Structures are given as C-alpha cells and as structure tokens.
Structure 1
Amino acid sequence: MDVGELVAVGRTSEVYAYGNDSVVKVPRPDVPEHWAHDEAQFTRAARTCGVPAPEVVDVIELDGRPAIVFERIDGPSMWERMLAHPADIDQLAVQVAAVHREIHAAGIPSGVPDLIERMCMKIGEARTLGDDAKDEACTIARALPRGAALLHGDLHPGNILLSPNGPVVIDWFDATIGHPIADVVRSSILIRPNADAADLPHLPDAEPGFLEHVHSSYVRQFDELVADTADSLSQWEAVVAVSRISERSDDDAGLLEFWDARNAPRSSSELALVATQFAPSGD
C-alpha cells in the first residue's frame, strides 16, 4: 500500500495518509526503532481500559524501519478549535480536563511502564543537568507518592482530536502508571508559555496571553488535586520538568527554573497559585 499525503508533523515523527481510512506514523531516522513498538503497545493498552485512543491497525516496516498504522481520525485538534474559537477557551479547557480525568480513572492496563522508573531514565539523559543533580532528582522522584493511575504523559490540546464521535487522544508514547498529579504538572508545563515567550512547537500560533488563558482555564479544573498534593507540589514540578529536558525541548532554561525552585514552599508554585486563584469558594 502506498503512503499518501503528509497529514501532520511532530517532533519525532511524521504522519501520512495510508489507504482509505488509516494513517501511518513514521519515526524520524534518529528515533530508536523500539519506540514505534512501544507506542503501539501503550496505545493498545489504553484502549483496553476504554480510553478514547485510536485503534492500532498494524506495525509495519517502511524503508527498513518500523512505523505504526493507526485508524484515521477525521476532525480538528482541540488546539485548532481553540485558535478558531478563542471565545470558547474556557469551555474547551473544561473538555481537556474532563478527558484527562477520564484517563486517570480508566484503570491500570498491563504493559505500561512505571512513571518513576521511566522518569529517572529520562532524568539520566538530561543533557544540561549535572550528575549530582540527576542523582538528587531521582532520589526526590522515588520519595514522592507512587500513585496507581493510567497517565498519558504528554496531554495538551494538540494531542486531542475532535472526531464526529467525540474526543480521541493520540500520541501515547509517554504513557505510564503513576500519580495523577504528575500528569497534570506535565500538562501544565506543556501549556504555559515558554520563559522567553517563544512559540511552542506543539501549540503553534499563539501569543503568550492566549496560552496563559488556556493554562489557567485548564489548571483550575484540578484545584482539589493540587490542594491534596500541596506539600510535594514543588518537588513534582521539579522532577517532571527536568525529565523533559531529555526530549530536546527548546526551553531548557524555563525547565531548570522549576528545578531551582524544588525546595520552595507550595505558595510559590505557579500551578498552585492559579488553582487557588480560580478555585470555587464553596458558597
């Protein structure tokens, strides 16, 4: 079957039309070959729990390298919908949070790795972090509450497609089993503007103020979870941030700011400040 037109471009792969009702996700040449098999496994695992993930049709070889064939999901991404309808940001952010909570409540599938162990593996590959800091980060991570929920690991509005049958979550390569606050912290870091106000590759074409609105609208949906993990929030932000450095992010300076604040009181955490600011009064 011939590969068709380019559908999407990501940091580590390109997605092409494939046949009448499928797409094929082709990793870039520098991506380890096992990544395609891992993502296919994690996506299938999520589907076994009833999570709205695309069907994995097959893992094939293209030019001697594995690539994943997924069912084709017709519809814009949540991010595209936000850009097209900025007046609906609050409502759409509520939908993002609802999808996230659905994932966390779905159960624990087999074949998905442990969050802390995978996080420590990434921390070990963080190029701008010294060896002593890497050791400290893994020590902090292993002392945090383990949790037992399915985590997506990369959830943001660009990874939610709005099909005619409802939202579908794509890009499950970073799925793990762990504490939901780690997933919310990760999404918070992905959605908020870069420290230097540069464009976010995964959420393009947005001004910092637009991103700040999306971020606050999303975070305020998790005020109770943030409050419940208040004592460890700065540590969660620190280790989640430095584990992202291994992903060749363009915002190492901003990520390291979280690390520098690892021992700060909960009141200085931006995530906590936003959640507290918008939390319902209870009246």
Structure 2
Amino acid sequence: MKLLASGRDSDVFDHGDGLVLRRYRDGRSAEAEAATIRAVAALGYPVPAVHSAAGPDIVMERVDGTTLVEAMAGGLQPEQVGAVLAGLHDRLHALDWPGAEPGESILHLDLHPLNVIVRGTDPVVIDWSNARPGHAGLDVAMTALILAQVVVTDGMLASVGVGDDGLRAAVRAVLETFAGRVGTPYSDHLANAEALRRHDPNQSAEELRALSRAVGLAREVARVDRPAARAAGRPAAPPDGRA
C-alpha cells in the first residue's frame, strides 16, 4: 500500500476505491475509536465514514481536501480558522451523547487545525483516538493549549511536517478568535489539559519545556472580552463550521 501521510503515532495508506487505512504503529486497538466515529457520524457530525476496524487498523473514507493549516498557508484568514474551530467545538458538545453523565459531552481532545480537513467548503474532523465523554471545557482548553503551544514552541510545526513560513504568528490570531467565539469557557480546565499534555508520550522535550508558557498564553487570551472579540473576529464566509 502507498503511504499517504504519517503522524506522531500512526501512518495512513491508500487502500484503493476511495478508502484509506490508518494504522497505529504501537499496535493498539483502533476499534473503540472506530465506534466513536460511527456514533458521532450517526448524530450528524462531520467525520469520515468508517468501513471497517480490526486491531490497530481503521479503513475509512478518503477525505480529499486540505487541512486548516494548509488552507491557512494558502490564504485562509486566521480569524476564519479560529471561527471554524469554535463552531466545530460548539456543534460537538451540543450532541446528545448516549450514556453521558449530566453536564458531560463527547470530547475530541485533539481538535486542532491539522485534524480538520476542508472538503470543498465543509470541515471534516479526523483522528478520534483521544475521544471520551467529559466536560466540554476540557476539550476547549485542550485546543486552546495546543494552539498556544504552536505559538510559543520553536519547531513544533516542523515536528509534524509543516513548514513555519510565518504560520506561528498567524496561529496567535487563530487562538484569539477561537477563545473569543467558542461557547464554552475553558480557563478552569487548563490545569487538567496541561496534565494530559505532560503525560502525552508524543510530546517532545522542547514542547514540554515550553508548556508552562503555553498555559500562560492560553489563559491570557481567555480573559479577552468575549462579545468584543466575537464582533472583531467575525470572518467573511468561512468554511462551514456553523460558527
């Protein structure tokens, strides 16, 4: 099979007939993740269609398009990207998740611009390996923290195969728009998000060294006046994140 892409913990191969196979390199099972993707798809959330799952492999619909990072490098405004991310969070956390405790939603916990593919004008969310029920504020805090990490960490974009090309500065604007538009406050959940990142084996030494600064930045932008930020950051005709 032809290798299409490699992430920090998995590889994606062309499986033919409009399908891809994603395989975890550590051999962990992908079957629970496949079940989550099918469940959110059944509730109308934009995800790839799952065809099969066995052991570390998921066979899914191939989503042709560009990630939000690639779209931003191609001219999509950072404010549009932030608005799309906010809209995707709000839609996800509004789903009536079966079996969730009161006050809980289904969480993605890795919803950042590299995990959103724009197909035409529609965003599709990939990589549900960390998904679980919980408080929506933790999910929002995780996205804010990951964006802040990109801003403060040298080489983080390069570590996932993306050239910087000035994108780190643009990500600051993504973060500010996201924090101003997302419907769920997240400051009280940053400590838990930080703990999850510190225990993530895929974090590099440089990312861990800069993590406290990233938490500080995510907390700083969370203090932005939300109505003012929302008015200032409203994009013109973004991809349909329904923000």
Q: How high is the TM-score relative to the length of structure 1?
A: 0.70
Q: Larger Rg: 1 or 2?
A: 1
Find the counterpart in structure 2 of residue 273 from structure 1.
Answer: 220
Find the partner of 1:209 among 160, 169, 178.
169
> Which blocks of at least 5 consecutive residues in structure 1 are unaligned?
115-145, 262-268
| Pair 1:49 & 2:39 matched | no
From the superposition, tell whether residues 275 and 66 of structure 1 become closer, same or farther in structure 2 (CA, over 3 Å). Answer: closer
Question: Structure 1 CA distance, aligned partners of 2:181 and 2:160?
Answer: 22
Find the counterpart in structure 2 of residue 128 from structure 1.
Answer: none
Find the counterpart in structure 2 of residue 161 from structure 1.
Answer: 117
Find the counterpart in structure 2 of residue 98 from structure 1.
Answer: 87
Verify the 8 A CA contact 1:49 1:109 in the aligned structure 2: no
Question: Structure 1 CA distance, aligned partners of 2:161 and 2:123?
Answer: 18
Alignment root-mean-square deviation, CA: 2.7
Runs ≥4 in structure 1, deviation > 4 angstroms?
Answer: none
| Pair 1:240 & 2:193 matched | yes
Q: Using the TM superposition, give the Cα deviation of residue 194 of structure 1 relative to its aligned residue in structure 2, in angstroms.
A: 5.7
From the superposition, tell whether residues 195 and 77 of structure 1 become closer, same or farther in structure 2 (CA, over 3 Å). Answer: closer
Equivalent position SS for 1:189: helix
Pairing 1:1-283 to 2, within 5 Å after superposition? 3=1, 5-28=2-25, 31-34=26-29, 36-60=30-54, 66-85=56-75, 88-109=77-98, 147-164=103-120, 166-192=122-148, 193=150, 195-200=152-157, 201-202=159-160, 204-206=162-164, 207=166, 208-222=168-182, 225-226=184-185, 233=188, 236-248=189-201, 249-250=203-204, 251-255=207-211, 270-281=217-228
Deviations along 1:159-202, one digit per CA (max 9) or x if unpaired, are 11111372111001111111111011100111123644232334
From the superposition, tell whether residues 213 and 257 of structure 1 become closer, same or farther in structure 2 (CA, over 3 Å). Answer: closer
Which fold has the larger relative contact order, with Cα–Cα distance below 8 Å and residues 6 or more apart in sequence? 2
From the superposition, tell whether residues 58 and 80 of structure 1 become closer, same or farther in structure 2 (CA, over 3 Å). Answer: same
Equivalent position SS for 2:56: strand
From the superposition, tell whether residues 165 and 210 of structure 1 become closer, same or farther in structure 2 (CA, over 3 Å). Answer: closer
Identity across aligned pairs (percent)?
27
Verify the 8 A CA contact 1:242 1:255 in the aligned structure 2: no
**Structure 2 residue identity aligned to 1:48:** A
> Which blocks of at least 5 consecutive residues in structure 2 are unaligned?
232-243
Question: Structure 2 CA distance, aligned partners of 1:9 and 1:184?
Answer: 25
Q: Using the TM superposition, give the Cα deviation of residue 42 of structure 1 relative to its aligned residue in structure 2, in angstroms.
A: 1.7
From the superposition, tell whether residues 73 and 212 of structure 1 become closer, same or farther in structure 2 (CA, over 3 Å). Answer: same
